[in-house]
Amino acid sequence: MEKPVNIQTYQVLRDKLNLLYPAVVQLTSNSVQQTLNTAIVNAVNQLLHDQGYPQNPLTDVTAYYELKTNQRDVLSLSLWNYAFSGGAHGLTLQKSLTFSTQTGKQYALKDLFKPNSNYVAKLSAIIQAQIKTRSLPLLVDFKAIRPDQDYYIADKALVIYFQVYELAAYVYGFLYFPISVYDIQDIINENGPLGKMLS
């Protein structure tokens, strides 16, 4: 039963809005399908709201998505939203969602790890080392990730990322830190999405 789920793309074209978003279709369980699709639509709407659409009449929005994982009963995707309201450049927001396609459960970062595993310290140390290795010029000192830091799952990696401006100047865009599941397997919750990538 661990087949990929079927994804259909929907488009919304309005004045100053070009939006593509995904929907899960043909899932055996209607209630799980509805749970997944409601969460996706809510996140799409939240991003529009965060970008000031349609409140600000000058805001022009292009939105789309990328599938990161669709296997082993795990669906992980990123929603992108680029808004331009005049000025030197627009701003892109990214929101990632990770689900069990069996139950419809949405996973926060903490859910990927064993309880009391101090995942924040462990992931922060790995990211700190990558910042050093990659000589990334940060705007602020990196101390630690937020307990609910943005992430997605791509194959056998957990990818932690930071929004534009969160750590570095605009020109660097999103900063991504891929972490192999094998580097953190001692703290992974075996019943969660990363546990499935290990097996």
The reply to whether 152 and 165 lie within a common domain is yes
The verdict on 101 and 120 lying in the same domain is: no
Domain count for the chain: 2
Domain span at residue 166? Answer: 109-199
Together in a domain, 121 and 69: no
What is the pLDDT confidence band of residue 1, given thresholds at 50, 70 and 90? low
Mean pLDDT of the 28-44 span: 98
Helix (H) or strand (E) holding 35: helix 30-50
Beta strands in the chain (DSSP E): 6-14, 17-25, 60-71, 74-84, 91-100, 151-154, 157-162, 175-180
> What tens digit of pLDDT does each residue of 120-146 get?
999 999 999 999 999 999 999 999 999
42 and 56 belong to one structural domain? yes
What's the distance, Cα to Cα, between the start and end of the chain in Å?
15
pLDDT at 119: 98
Query: Are residues 173 and 145 part of one domain?
Result: yes
User: What global pTM score does this model have?
Assistant: 0.96
Candidate from 20-24, 83-87, 96-100 with smallest mean pLDDT:
83-87
Question: Any idea what the CATH number is for the domain that residue 126 is in?
Answer: 3.90.640.20
Rounded to a whole number of angstroms, the CA Rg of the chain reads: 18
How far apart are the C-alpha atoms of 121 and 78, rounded to whole Å? 25
Q: Do 13 and 25 belong together in one domain?
A: yes
